[in-house]
Structure 1
Amino acid sequence: MSAPVTPSAEADAPQVFPPTLREVMLRPRWIAMLLLCLVVAGVFAWLGQWQLGRALSTSPVAPGASEQVQPLADVTKPGIALPDPLAGQRVEVSGSYVPDDFIVITSRLNDQTEGYWVSGQLRIADVAQPTSVAVALGFTTSKDQADAAASALNAQATADPTARVDVIGRVIADEGPVVSATKSDPFELSRMSPAALLGRWHDVAGLNVYRAYITAQTPSAGLDAIHSPAVDSGTSVNWLNIFYAAEWAIFAGFAFYLWYRLAKDAWEREVEELTGGGEDGDELPAEA
C-alpha cells in the first residue's frame, strides 16, 4: 500500500490574483483624481473656446477706413496697446514739442533704405492731464544730418516752447525697447519705442504717454518723408489666437493622460509587490 501524498506548502498557500488596471482606476482615490482632472480640463477647454472666439471676432478695418484721418484720442488712449486692426490708421493731433527731446533713432528702413529717424515728444494740447505722444518727424541716410536736424528742432522748440503744431500721420504700435548694440554709445536707440524714449524725455512727472507713436506725414527740418504706406486690412481670423486655442486643447488632453499615467504607475507598482515581478523579472499581467 502506497504512502499518502503530503500536500506541499506552496499548494496550501492562498493564490494571489493581482488587480487589473481597470480595478485600480475604479478605486475611490483614482475616481477623485479623475474628477479633479475633469475640472482642470474643463477650465482649459473654456480658455480654448474663449481664445477661439477672440480669433473669429477680430474684425478687420473696412477698406479705405485707415486713410480717413481721425483724432488720435478716438483711435487709442494713453497707456494701452494699439489694437491690431487700428495699426496704420491716419490720425491728427495738436500740441507743442518739448525742448531738448528730439532724439535720433538708428537702424531705420525707409522703403528698403537704411538710415535714421528724428523723433520728438509732442505735448498734446487741450487735455486735462499732461499727455504726450512720440512723433517720428522724418528720415535721412546721414547720421550727421539726423543729428543736425535734431539740434535745429531742439533750438526751435527752446526759442518758442509754446508754438502749436498740427501733426497728421499714421499711428503705429510700440516696437518695444531693446538694449543698445553699440558699446560706444549705450544710449543709442534702434527701436521706435515710447517706453524707451520716456527714459530720455524731460518734464515727465505725472505724464500720460501713448504707447503707440505717429509717423508724421510732413517731414521737418529738411528731412525726407518716412515711407509709411497703408496697412493691409488683413483677415477676420486671428491665427495667433487660434494657435493659443489649440494649445489649451492640448493641455486639456494632457490632464487626462496625466491621470491615466499616474493610475497605471500605481497599478504596476502594486502588481510588482504582489507577484515579485520587479525582483524575479516576471512580466506584468496584461491590462484587463
Structure 2
Amino acid sequence: MVRPRWIAMLLLCLVVAGVFAWLGQWQLGRAIDTAPVQKSTSEQVKPIADVVKPGEYLDDRLVGQKVAVDGDWVAGDFIVVSSRYNDGVEGYWVTGQLRLKDTATPTSLAVAVGWTPDRAKADAVASALNASSGGARLTGRLISDEGPIVPDPNGDPLELTRMSPAALLSRWHDVQGLDVYRPYLTSATPLGGLQAISSPAPDERQGVNWLNLFYAAEWAVFAGFAFYLWYRLAKDAWEKEVEELEELSAGVDERGV
C-alpha cells in the first residue's frame, strides 16, 4: 500500500473526496437557503375569526398569533387555574368566559386575564370580577388548548391545573347551545391588579429543503466510498502479491526436497 502507484491513487482519492465534500457542503447550504420561511405574522393583530373558527383546533403555525376580540364577560365564570408559570415562577391565572359579540350563535372564548404568585390574591380577584360584568375589547395571544387531565384523587376535585377550555366549559354558566373556541387567549392587559402573563412571540424556525439535505448526505457517502474503493483495490493487490509469494516459496521448497 506504500508503493508509488497506491500513494498516487490515494492522492487522487483525496482530491475526489474533497470535491464530493465541497458538493455536499454546497447542497447543505442550499437545503436551508432555498427554503426560506415567510416572515411570521404573529405580531400582526387579527380578528379571531380570521385565524380559527369555534370548535376547530389551532394550527401549530398559528400558535401565539395576536388576535383582537370584542365581547362581554359572563358574571360568575372567573375561575382560578393553578400551576401557571411566569418567567419560571409558579403561580396562578385568573380566567374568564368572554361571550363574543357579532356572532351568528352564542360563542365564547376562554381568556386568561392575569397572573399572580399568591393564591389568596388570585381568589380575591376572581371573586371581585365575578361580582360584576361588562364589555371588553381585548388583544392577546391565541394558545392551543392544553387538554383536561384526571384530577388528583387526594387533592381538591375542583382544582384546575391545566388551561383547558373544555374543562372550564363544565364550570361555566349559560352554556346551552354555546359554541366555544378550542384555543384560549392570554390577555395583553391584566385585570384586577394582576400581573401581565408572560407570553413571548413564537420562535421563527428556519425552513429546510429535505431534498437538498438528502443530496448532501449522498455526497458524504460518495466521499467515503472513494476511500473504501482505494482500500479494497490496494488490499486486493497486496493479498494477491502475498499469495503469489507463498506459491513461489512453496515451489522452491518442493524443488529443494
Scaled to the shorter chain, the TM-score interval is 0.5 to 0.7
User: Structure 1's 148 and 206: CA in aligned 2 closer, same or farther, altered over 3 A?
Assistant: same
User: Structure 1's 119 and 182: CA in aligned 2 closer, same or farther, altered over 3 A?
Assistant: farther
2:151 aligned to 163, 180, 184, which one?
180
1:195 aligns with 2:166: yes
User: Structure 1's 76 and 60: CA in aligned 2 closer, same or farther, altered over 3 A?
Assistant: farther
2:78 aligned to 91, 102, 110, which one?
102
1:43-58 equivalent positions in 2, closer than 5 A: none
The match for 2:98 is 122
1:128 positional shift: 1.1
- Provide the C-alpha distance between the structure 2 equivalents of 1:168 and 1:61, rounded to a whole number of angstroms: 26
**Structure 2 runs not aligned, ≥5 long:** 1-34, 211-257
1:192 positional shift: 0.4
- Provide the C-alpha distance between the structure 2 equivalents of 1:110 and 1:60, rounded to a whole number of angstroms: 32
1:72 aligns with 2:43: no
Deviation string for 1:49-105 (max 9, x for gaps)?
xxxxxxxxxx99733410010000100010010000000000000000101100000
SS of alignment partner, residue 56 of structure 2 = coil
- Provide the C-alpha distance between the structure 2 equivalents of 1:187 and 1:179, rounded to a whole number of angstroms: 11
SS of alignment partner, residue 39 of structure 2 = coil
SS of alignment partner, residue 42 of structure 2 = helix
What's the TM-score once normalised by structure 1's chain length? 0.58
Deviation string for 1:19-49 (max 9, x for gaps)?
xxxxxxxxxxxxxxxxxxxxxxxxxxxxxxx
The match for 1:56 is none
The match for 1:169 is 140
- Provide the C-alpha distance between the structure 1 equivalents of 2:164 and 2:36, rounded to a whole number of angstroms: 25
CA contact (8 A) 2:37 2:206 kept: no
Which stretch shifts more, 196-205 or 62-71? 62-71
SS of alignment partner, residue 66 of structure 1 = coil
User: Structure 1's 62 and 154: CA in aligned 2 closer, same or farther, altered over 3 A?
Assistant: farther
CA contact (8 A) 2:69 2:137 kept: yes
SS of alignment partner, residue 179 of structure 1 = coil
- Provide the C-alpha distance between the structure 1 equivalents of 2:158 and 2:41, rounded to a whole number of angstroms: 38
**Structure 1 runs not aligned, ≥5 long:** 1-58, 158-162, 240-288
- Provide the C-alpha distance between the structure 2 equivalents of 1:125 and 1:181, rounded to a whole number of angstroms: 37
User: Structure 1's 182 and 106: CA in aligned 2 closer, same or farther, altered over 3 A?
Assistant: farther
SS of alignment partner, residue 181 of structure 2 = strand
What's the TM-score once normalised by structure 2's chain length? 0.65
Aligned positions, number: 176
Which ranges of 4 or more aligned residues in structure 1 deviate by more than 2 Å? 59-64, 180-184, 233-237
1:195 aligned partner, one-letter code: A
User: Structure 1's 65 and 123: CA in aligned 2 closer, same or farther, altered over 3 A?
Assistant: same
1:216 aligned partner, one-letter code: S
2:180 aligned partner, one-letter code: V
The match for 1:206 is 177
1:220 aligned to 191, 209, 220, which one?
191
